Structure 1
Amino acid sequence: MRVRILGIGMGPQHVTPEVAEALRGCDYVVAASKSADDGLLAIRRAICEAYDVELVPVPDPERDRADPADYPGTVRAWHDARVVAYRAVIEERGGTAGFLVWGDPSLYDSTIRIVSQLGVEFDVLPGIAAPQLLAAAHRVVLHGVGRPVVVTTERRLPEAVAAGAENVVVMLTSGFDPAGVEDWQVWWGANLGTSSARLVSGRAGDVAETIREMRAEAKAEAGWVMDLYLLRRVP
């Protein structure tokens, strides 16, 4: 048994030649299915059809998506349940299984952590990461000359600001609240690289409502939304 973890950016248009070759060598692709009308599963299915690989949907275990007191513990339990579900499929089918990862597997994705618990040989091929898509869409560099950039989650943004970060890429968002960064410059994007993509930039306090509206539009159009933003402190 073998697993190949493959970065796919935001869909078929971002599948690299390296990943395409690996896909053709997979016996099947394992993918979490969150609902009967899972739009993200549909994109994975389109990729599999393009490379003539069987897609094996696995019902995704439930988890608390509100704001649990023990967030890390909740996520660990969810990952453990995924390990059990994926192991059952892989042990039954054998062969080479593929996992298609949004963006790049190295950044805010737990597929590597989960697969490493399956006890099988695996490798990882990179994909186009969301911060790359954001920077390209807005035609900006993620940091000033010789300056650092912090990549963090929305829930930990206040920590980055308090620590003195000047350039912050914010992922795993649930909306946009400019509290504490109203005077910063923001470059925001949703569903980048797809037909439902949205872009907004400007002073964070001025464009906050527009971002929320665009986010809702993108979700209504696609049935799902993946967004992120770059914040830069204005001198």
Structure 2
Amino acid sequence: MTHVHVVGIGMGPQHLTQEASATLRAADYALAVRKGADDDLLEVRRLICAEHGLPLVEIPDPERDRDDPADYPGAVAAWHAARVEAYADELTARGGSAAVLVWGDPSLYDSTLRILDRLGERPDLSGSLTWDVIPGISAPQLLAARHRIVLHRVGRPVHLTTARRLPEAVAAGQRTIVVMLGSAASLAQLDELPDWEIWWGANLGATGEQLVAGRVGTVLPALRAARETARRQAGWVMDAFLLQAPDEVHR
């Protein structure tokens, strides 16, 4: 039998829950993909594993078309299929109890649970692979905490999406939007929303954390500068933000 613990780690060691730490100490090893020669996020996972006496097994991340392909879902599906094969090789060879350390919380914009679903369907692992999930602190939680805000207005909904699909959400009439997986290029979309209010954060809870809040048209230059500061200090950027339309801000 092989068991996998999918462990949410927030933005690093400071966000591990007691349940997450106990799970890591009890596992036999951890699996993590390496994204290139200089993977700073892998080094954070390595630090967490070292603190818990857990060997870390690296898996080279399969290539993925990241240049905004016409068939984005197809590109992601192919990438997931390649990851399934890579994980299957290690899990069948090693067995035992493995941990997969997931940034933030495994329920939000992470492929690990989908990959495990597909692994469980494989003839060579069907019936012998089980897994559980240990929740972590998510980016929207950290964003709200840092800005000391509630993400939604009283009795109103909040829409959670990716930067790639922000224009679609606005066009559909969403008025309070949490956006994840941003990029420097995606900030250009905010030029179209100058009267909206934004609460933005980069590398929340980690090295180079940056916060900006205010009317988009006013703070966007400062936001772009803060994003570059976060990249310079940490070597990478993860950002998230809350947007509220003008007619939602005071409800």
Does the TM-score normalized on the shorter chain lie above 0.5? yes
Contact preservation (8 Å) 2:3, 2:131: yes
Q: For the residues of structure 1 that align with 2:59 and 2:77, how far apart are their CA atoms?
A: 18
**Alignment correspondent of 1:193:** 205
Report how many aligned residue pairs link the two structures.
235
Distance across 1 between alignment mates of 2:15 and 2:88: 28
1:174 to 161, 176, 183: 183
Q: For structure 2, which runs of at least 5 residues remain unmatched after alignment?
A: 121-128
TM-score (normalised: structure 1): 0.97
Give how far 1:172 is off: 1.2
The one-character-per-residue Cα deviations of 1:23-61 (angstroms, maximum 9, x if unpaired) are: 111100000101222100000001001110001111101
Alignment-mate amino acid for residue 53 of structure 1:
L
Give deviations 1:124-178, integer Å, cap 9, x for gaps.
1110000000000011110111110000011111121122212100011112121
Could you report, residue by residue, the CA deviation over 1:61-105 in whole angstroms, capped at 9, with x for unpaired residues?
A: 111111100000000000100110111111111101100000000
Match of 1:57 in 2: 58
Q: Which residue number corresponds to residue 221 of structure 2?
A: 209
- AA aligned to 1:184 is W
Identity value in percent = 58
Q: TM-score, normalised by structure 2?
A: 0.91
1:228 correspondence with 2:240? yes
Task: State how 1:1-235 maps to structure 2 within 5 Å.
Answer: 1-119=2-120, 120-175=129-184, 176-177=187-188, 178-235=190-247
Local SS of the residue matching 1:117: helix
Code of the residue aligned with 2:72 in structure 1: it is Y
CA distance in 2, matches of 1:134, 1:47: 23
Query: Residue deviations 1:166-225, cap 9 Å, x none?
Result: 210001111212133110000100000012100011111221122122111111211111
Give the gaps of 5 or more residues in structure 1: none
SS in 1 for 2:110: coil
Mapped partners of 1:62, 1:114: distance in 2: 16
Q: Which runs of 4+ in 1 moved over 2 A?
A: none
Supply the distance in 2 between the matched residues of 1:62 and 1:6 (Cα, whole angstroms): 24
Q: Quote the RMSD (CA, aligned, Å).
A: 0.9
